Structure 1
Amino acid sequence: MPGYSSINLSCGDVCPEADTVQAALCLLCLPAQKHTHHTTIDLDFCRVAPQMPGSSGTAQSMKKTIGHRGVETTTGETTYKKTTSSALKGAIQLGITHTVGSLSQKAERDVLMQDFVVVESIFFPSEGSNLTPAHHYSDFRFKTYAPIAFRYFRELFGIRPDDYLYSLCNEPLIELSNPGASGSLFYVSSDDEFIIKTVQHKEAEFLQKLLPGYFMNINQNKRTLLPKFYGLYCVQAGGKNIRIVVMNNLLPRIIPMHLKYDLKGSTYKRRASPKEREKAVPIYKDLDFIQDLPDGLLLEADNYNALCKTIQRDCLLLQSFKIMDYSLLMGIHNMDQASRERERGVSNSGDSAGSEGAVTPDQRRPQAQKSLYCTAMESIQGEARGKGALDSEDHMGGIPARNNKGERLLIYIGIIDILQSYRFIKKLEHSWKALVHDGDTVSVHRPGFYAERFQQFMCNTVFKKIPRKYACAGVFQYAKGNAHEEEKKQPHEEAFHLYLHTNIQSY
């Protein structure tokens, strides 16, 4: 029939045992003409579980997996590579305590090229040793990658060794519900400063190769939305390697997020699943954003320009390393909605960290000693620190914005999932998808095109600029003083709606 793909089943192209290389070779079996949406075969082979020879392809055999992440059937506890989450958290804290302590005994010096490839290892027997304490977990080995280099990164971002230890090791780590389909485990420190994520071997390997370029980039430009990498470690337990990376926490749990988005600039299958929508605060995607916020998020001109410049600079760096398939993670705190909820006695409508609830701010350290450039606002206007431009009491680290209703928003953003290189596997995946869909809409694309499409979507669709004359009229003056007072709020609303009645689409 016209418009349908003809697949020869005898060639092995859809054989249950066909791997991705075989699947790519089977592109020769497809007609040369461009296929339409009538094609019925699911070519998303990267997410289909392998089947045994002769299997019938039942729903069970096609069930999606969650990588190495599982759940103990008896206790219900999360496991990763058959290691329980509690044991993994304990091993991480013991290992980091030891490695940071031993690193403090080494003299400060400049970072050398060989520092990026150094790997230190220490064995933790359960009965303890002359170097390690006794513990109630199984024996494990802890590896630290590039300790000198990561110490430099932490210092550059204003994180002192004792603060790093206090945040990660003083209180139990909090496990977060997995927001994606990668099967990774996520932990957050009790003071909300750091995120710990398990990564695959290839991702850890790629980060190691990326370190010299990352070092060069953050020395040249500290204003970045890229992840702040603070440490790369490996726990060897039960014959398995569990690699973890420590990063900055983009979405603070102390601030309820009323909306969350994972944006790529793609429209192919970029809508939150029904299962995701059942969550208290789902993570929506590109098509959801276009539907929910067709007018985008409205920013003051200076913030808009700084944000788009930062995105452009970050994308250029990612493109130079042939990195693609990254996302912009965005949390939106609606200040007006939060005010209404407080009046109704609703203490925590958002659930930005699963079911753990909000935490109280860490008062042990002065704010000035917290990690530098760790918030969204600081990431785009880092050098303004100390000049009066940044006031945490005004915006709590978020970027002030408005929606098309005139409601006051705080936006928390960062670029995530940058450890994906456009290698052979991604080229194959794009070739498959481009056969049956518009190649410009799929998220897996060549790095140059991906970066350009990402920038265009963020700066033309997601974020839009309020002309300075309307900002000066009072649209964004709510960040100063008590914006909840009606006599101060009313002129701002009038100025905002005056702008809305002009041609918003031109921006």
Structure 2
Amino acid sequence: MNISLESIAGASMSYEHGESHAEKVLSNGDVYVGDFDGLLPHGMGRYTWLNGTIYDGQWEKNKITGRGKILWPSGAAYEGEISGGFLHGSGSLFGFDGSIYKGSWMMNRQHGKGIKTYSNLDEYDGFWREGLQEGFGTYKWSNGNNYSGNWKAGKMSGKGVMKWSNGDLFDGDWLDGLENGSGYYKYADGSVYVGIWSRGLKDGHGTFFPTGSRTPYQLTYSKSIVCGNKVQSLGPASFFSNEGPVSKMLSKRSKVNRWSMIGCLRSTKRISHRPSSLDGIWNVNDACVSSSSENTSHTLCSTDESQLELLDDRILVYDREYMQGVLITERMRYCDFGRPQRAKWHCKMSKQPKRPGETIYGGHRSYYLMLNLQLGIRYTVGKITPVPMREVRSSDFGPRARIQMYFPSRGSQFTPPHNSVGFFWKDYCPMVFRNLREMFKIDAADYMMSVCGGDGLKELSSPGKSGSIFYLSQDERFLIKTLRKYELKILLKMLPNYYGHVGAYENTLITKFFGLHRLTIKGRKVRFVVMGNMFRTELRIHRRYDLKGSSHGRSTIKHNINENTTLKDLDLSYVFNLEKSWRESLFRQISLDCKFLESQSIIDYSMLLGLHFRAPEHLKAYSKSQNLLKHGANSADDNSDIQLRDEVKTPPKGLRLVAHEPSSVSSLPGSHIRGSTLRASAADNKEVDLLLPGTGRLRVQLGVNMPAEANWKPLHNNGLHSAEFNPVEVYDVVLYFGIIDILQEYNMTKKFEHCCKSLKCDPLSISAVAPKMYSKRFVEFLEKVFPD
């Protein structure tokens, strides 16, 4: 409620000097009865406005300040602290609608700790900021639902736990009031799904544990289960039953890490036709299910209590993949919590590995390194920004164009004190990278806030062989990568030509560099480059591919694959159909970028490709129909399964493109903001945006938010997915891609590598080939990936 109090300043009162208490009628009809200090109301007083509003409380020099009570004609009332005419401090507001707020105020708005009971009997107990829930709080709905966790701008955002009145529970990440990110969902019947959500819908990979299963999440908190090729986080044990064998396991934490499981069955992916599966709940329905592998068969049956029992201590789990809430594929397997080392395929209990995107905190091994990096960038960007903008000169390039500074922990005349060890800082080519940031429309203040703000960076593991460490800014706009000495030299060497190339071609797909730095701590030198994150999008990236065009060693080991794996050339099982004009623009730019890299004798670069799949519309309709069946019947109609099989190959209708409207799309600064908007023939050759229901409106650029049709077509016979049947052959996808890893020259080492590997395999299949051959092979492979 917006509270406003009219000031009596300027109103004419009739009184005699020296009166300490009087009743005064103002010229506008308002009435004041109370104490005066000379000519001004001061002390206790009652002020009645002409509209019927009444304030009764303390005054200070003609201002409503202190404790008091306000009554509005609507029936609303406030009792508590007031300052300068504003509700400020501690107080209670009783709304005209029956709502009650008790807590802290700041300038007429709820701010700080407070409890609000709404007119419908909902209750929020937690922190507020400028009238909205923000921080930690608990919201209790009158229907019995309960949420405890973080809030932002009045919506559930961050970590939180929702408990529904029907017994369901979700513990995980939230954004704008919806499940968004990793988490686990425990259903009222005891089944559990652990996976990824996007805007309230399951979206990505996860694991489902049927009712009665002894889930690994009952073992301990802050551990993980590594089973087959999946890594899953464990939820808090407190949310599960403490009865039976589970409580015994919890009491023996020292033995947990010695437990093992055995994966027994491997089966191909398939569409699940069970009606409850589409909602993540598996029902036994008092039936017995028999499954077999090459040498073993197992039978599982439901008990009278509808609980799942498994012979030989084995439990049935489902590895699933969802797209916008629709179950697309499912892999069934068995795990064994019994005797360790009982079979070749086994799973291990271990401490949870460092997950991608782990925020660096105090005590983390990279904490001081992060502090020094942020301090150095803040210093040099702040120093170079006030310099008037000018064209770069030849003297701005090279290893001698640098800013050097020593940062003692106690501070100096030029540097602030800090809580880390003293370090030496070197910033290479500051004027060049300042101009590059300007070229890519990145504001200096935004850049510093993103990289050097109060939030820590996120540490990522390296997806490649280089062993580099990646750091991600909290807003995910920038990647910081550690470099080897020779990579830094190559970047400095090619920087003049790189600057010219990206300046001439705004749609270049080559990695965008924003800064090059070196830290020296106790004699150890660490080199960094700051780059744009091409996967910074509100859409979930379901698949990542690193494509070079070579085939030797370009596949991923199956048991190393998880949600964040970057797959390779031989793993790719799709081709992507683009609008003709877009494909022409794409290969025109790829040709230009490859010619530039060839001129710099660069090899080993790759196309980093990210795919966001859109769930087929007929499967969405099927999911909705099965949800109705779930609530209205115990079993699905077999005819619906037959109908789905008939429709599963129905081609998608295509994603919707609309005329580009700059005011309707995101204008957040970042590495994608530069570059022209693509035109589409479907929109009369006008610039277009991609409209995704429930998601938003996205500007379509080359390599950014590009809609395409993905056709299931393995490019290699021995690929990861080519041996598996994919029931959905055509998808609508949104593509994100760019050329990365451009800091490897074809030098003597690479020539020697080429000679050695050529003795064992086809010389054209290896990555280390001459730049001209590498460029030609790279383009030819991408022409297969994006066919005409």
TM-score by length of 1: 0.66
- Matched position secondary structure for 2:376: helix
* Cα 1:253–1:381 shift into 2, 3 Å: closer
Counterpart contact for 1:224–1:380, Cα < 8 Å: no
Higher relative CO (CA 8 A, sep ≥ 6), structure 1 or 2? 1
2:710 to 403, 419, 423: 403
Q: Is residue 415 from structure 1 mapped to residue 739 from structure 2 by the alignment?
A: yes
Which 5+ residue runs of structure 1 have no aligned equivalent?
1-70, 346-365, 466-507
Counterpart contact for 1:141–1:236, Cα < 8 Å: yes
Q: Which residue of the partner structure matches residue 145 of structure 2?
A: none
For residues 315 and 276 of structure 1, the distance between their equivalents in structure 2, rounded to whole angstroms, comes to 31
Q: Which residue of the partner structure matches residue 453 of structure 1?
A: 777
For residues 698 and 732 of structure 2, the distance between their equivalents in structure 1, rounded to whole angstroms, comes to 11
Q: Which residue of the partner structure matches residue 688 of structure 2?
A: 389
List per-residue Cα deviations over 1:206-253 (Å, max 9, x = no partner): 100111101111222111110001000111112111100011101126
Q: Is residue 110 from structure 1 mapped to residue 376 from structure 2 by the alignment?
A: no
Q: Which residue of the partner structure matches residue 211 of structure 1?
A: 495
Counterpart contact for 2:385–2:434, Cα < 8 Å: no
For residues 469 and 488 of structure 2, the distance between their equivalents in structure 1, rounded to whole angstroms, comes to 15
List per-residue Cα deviations over 1:58-108 (Å, max 9, x = no partner): xxxxxxxxxxxxx99xxx9999xxx93111111111011100111123222
* Cα 1:446–1:208 shift into 2, 3 Å: same
List per-residue Cα deviations over 1:388-426 (Å, max 9, x = no partner): 334684446421111123311011101110000101110
1:25-424 matched pairs, under 5 angstroms: 84-117=365-398, 118-170=401-453, 171-252=455-536, 254-277=538-561, 279-289=562-572, 292-293=573-574, 296-336=575-615, 367-368=666-667, 370-371=669-670, 373-374=672-673, 378=675, 381=678, 388-390=687-689, 393-395=696-698, 397-404=704-711, 405-424=729-748
Counterpart contact for 1:158–1:369, Cα < 8 Å: no
CA drift of 1:340 comes to: 5.5
CA drift of 1:176 comes to: 1.5
CA RMSD of aligned residues (A): 3.0
Which amino acid in structure 1 is aligned with residue 688 of structure 2? Answer: A
Counterpart contact for 1:223–1:381, Cα < 8 Å: no
For residues 671 and 467 of structure 2, the distance between their equivalents in structure 1, rounded to whole angstroms, comes to 30
For residues 272 and 130 of structure 1, the distance between their equivalents in structure 2, rounded to whole angstroms, comes to 53
Which amino acid in structure 2 is aligned with residue 417 of structure 1? Answer: D
Q: Which moved more, 1:171-180 or 1:431-440?
A: 171-180
For residues 198 and 372 of structure 1, the distance between their equivalents in structure 2, rounded to whole angstroms, comes to 19
For residues 371 and 537 of structure 2, the distance between their equivalents in structure 1, rounded to whole angstroms, comes to 22
Counterpart contact for 1:395–1:410, Cα < 8 Å: no
CA drift of 1:297 comes to: 1.1
CA drift of 1:274 comes to: 3.3
For residues 416 and 616 of structure 2, the distance between their equivalents in structure 1, rounded to whole angstroms, comes to 49
CA drift of 1:325 comes to: 0.8
* Cα 1:372–1:192 shift into 2, 3 Å: closer
CA drift of 1:380 comes to: 8.4
- Matched position secondary structure for 1:389: strand
Which amino acid in structure 2 is aligned with residue 370 of structure 1? Answer: P
- Matched position secondary structure for 2:764: coil
For residues 257 and 123 of structure 1, the distance between their equivalents in structure 2, rounded to whole angstroms, comes to 41
Identity across the alignment (%)? 35
Q: Which moved more, 1:177-186 or 1:388-397?
A: 388-397
Which amino acid in structure 2 is aligned with residue 133 of structure 1? Answer: P
* Cα 1:254–1:369 shift into 2, 3 Å: closer
- Matched position secondary structure for 1:261: strand
- Matched position secondary structure for 1:84: coil
For residues 254 and 367 of structure 1, the distance between their equivalents in structure 2, rounded to whole angstroms, comes to 10
For residues 577 and 428 of structure 2, the distance between their equivalents in structure 1, rounded to whole angstroms, comes to 42
- Matched position secondary structure for 2:578: strand
For residues 135 and 275 of structure 1, the distance between their equivalents in structure 2, rounded to whole angstroms, comes to 44
For residues 550 and 489 of structure 2, the distance between their equivalents in structure 1, rounded to whole angstroms, comes to 27
* Cα 1:288–1:204 shift into 2, 3 Å: same
- Matched position secondary structure for 1:245: strand
* Cα 1:153–1:77 shift into 2, 3 Å: closer
Which amino acid in structure 2 is aligned with residue 306 of structure 1? Answer: S
For residues 243 and 254 of structure 1, the distance between their equivalents in structure 2, rounded to whole angstroms, comes to 30
Q: Which residue of the partner structure matches residue 32 of structure 2?
A: none
Q: Which residue of the partner structure matches residue 431 of structure 1?
A: 755
Which amino acid in structure 1 is aligned with residue 603 of structure 2? Answer: M
The number of equivalent residue pairs is 359
For residues 140 and 98 of structure 1, the distance between their equivalents in structure 2, rounded to whole angstroms, comes to 13
TM-score by length of 2: 0.43
For residues 419 and 218 of structure 1, the distance between their equivalents in structure 2, rounded to whole angstroms, comes to 16
Counterpart contact for 1:167–1:191, Cα < 8 Å: yes
CA drift of 1:273 comes to: 2.1
For residues 493 and 443 of structure 2, the distance between their equivalents in structure 1, rounded to whole angstroms, comes to 25
For residues 249 and 210 of structure 1, the distance between their equivalents in structure 2, rounded to whole angstroms, comes to 21
Counterpart contact for 1:422–1:447, Cα < 8 Å: yes
CA drift of 1:371 comes to: 3.2
Give 1 or 2: higher strand fraction. Answer: 2
Q: Which moved more, 1:100-109 or 1:152-161?
A: 100-109
* Cα 1:249–1:156 shift into 2, 3 Å: same
For residues 420 and 212 of structure 1, the distance between their equivalents in structure 2, rounded to whole angstroms, comes to 17
For residues 309 and 394 of structure 1, the distance between their equivalents in structure 2, rounded to whole angstroms, comes to 27
* Cα 1:198–1:275 shift into 2, 3 Å: farther
* Cα 1:374–1:414 shift into 2, 3 Å: farther
For residues 378 and 774 of structure 2, the distance between their equivalents in structure 1, rounded to whole angstroms, comes to 40
- Matched position secondary structure for 1:244: strand
- Matched position secondary structure for 2:615: helix
* Cα 1:275–1:417 shift into 2, 3 Å: farther
Which amino acid in structure 1 is aligned with residue 771 of structure 2? Answer: P
CA drift of 1:372 comes to: 6.0
Q: Is residue 444 from structure 1 mapped to residue 768 from structure 2 by the alignment?
A: yes
